[in-house]
Amino acid sequence: MAVLKLEDGTLHTDLINISQELAPLNIQINRWTVADNRELKRLLAQDSLNEDEKEQVLKALDSYFEQLQQTAGYKTRDLVVLHQGIPNLDMLMAKFDQIHTHADDEVRYVIDGEAIFGFVRPDGSQAELTVQPEEYINVPAGTEHWFYLTPAKRVKAVRYFITTEGWIPQYTGKQIRIRQPLER
């Protein structure tokens, strides 16, 4: 279940309320079920996946990719697998843990674990959204945001791209004021 934390401390857990709060940014969030497939569940339970296993996972979820290809022109997808065993994980994540924008939409479908997206809202306030399994998020191009892992430091997410360059961060220099892992 997604959790949106506003800068004033307000928490939202209902997808409708979260969508309303993020509407001024044109952020889309949705729930997409992961197939009830025994092999897929086995793969998702593993910390790391080799390239063949990643491709198996992607193929099992390609109905969503096909939908995005037809409705929004997405051209490629990949599977990012992040966990505590990855050498230099903190250094790898540091480039996204600053307020930045992209020239392309940032689209992720979290299928295991969780991560946090932070946003600068039109009024200058900030909010953080914890995205969990079976949640799809589309952060439109040009949206000021940041991204980091929760303390569990584990996420598997399908990323969808319109361009082949991927997401190149353009840093804004603004400071993150709300950053803090959500307490549960």
Q: List, for residues 111-125, the tens digit of each pLDDT value.
A: 999 999 999 999 999
The backbone region for 78, taken as left when phi is positive above 0, alpha when psi lies in -120 to 50, beta otherwise, is beta
Nearest CA among 41, 90, 76 for reference residue 158: 76
Check whether 181 has a pLDDT greater than 70. no
Feature table: binding site for Fe(2+):
100, 102, 106, 145
CATH no. for residue 156? 2.60.120.10
Q: In the structure, what pLDDT confidence band is assigned to residue 36 with cuts at 50, 70 and 90?
A: confident
DSSP assignment of the chain, as one string? --EEEETTS-EE-SHHHHHHHHGGGT-EEEE-PPP--HHHHHHHHSS---HHHHHHHHHHTHHHHHHHHHHH---EEEEEEE-TTSTTHHHHHHTTSS-EE-SS-EEEEEEEE-EEEEEE-TTS-EEEEEE-TTEEEEE-TT--EEEEE-TT--EEEEEEESSTT----EE--PPPSS--PPP-
Position 172 in a domain: no
Higher pLDDT, 180 or 10: 10
pLDDT for 180 equals 62
Q: Is residue 184, in this structure, part of any structural domain at all? A: no
**Using CA atoms, how far apart are residues 16 and 29, in angstroms rounded to an integer?**
9
Domain count, the chain: 1
Integer angstrom CA distances of residue 180 from 42, 115, 116, 139, 149: 32, 12, 10, 20, 11
Using CA atoms, how far residue 144 sits from 4, 153, 161, in Å, is: 16, 23, 18
List the domain range (segments joined by +) for residue 73: 3-164
**What percentage of the chain exceeds 70 in pLDDT?**
96
Residue 177 belongs to some domain of the structure: no
Whether residue 154 lies inside any domain: the answer is yes
The single-letter code of the amino acid at 134 is E
Is 129 contained in some domain? yes
Specify binding-site residues: 100, 102, 106, 145
The pLDDT, as a whole number, for residue 182 is 47
| Binding-site positions for Ni(2+) | 100, 102, 106, 145
Examine the pLDDT at 1 and tell me if it is beyond 90.
Answer: no
Task: Provide CB contacts within 8 A for 183, sequence distance 6+.
Answer: none
Q: Is pLDDT at 164 greater than 90 in this prediction?
A: no
pLDDT band, very low/low/confident/very high, at 163 (cuts 50, 70, 90): confident
In a domain, 181, yes or no: no
In a domain, 179, yes or no: no
Whether 169 is covered by a domain: the verdict is: no
pLDDT tens digits for range 125-151? 999 999 999 999 999 999 999 999 999
What's the predicted TM-score (pTM) here? 0.92
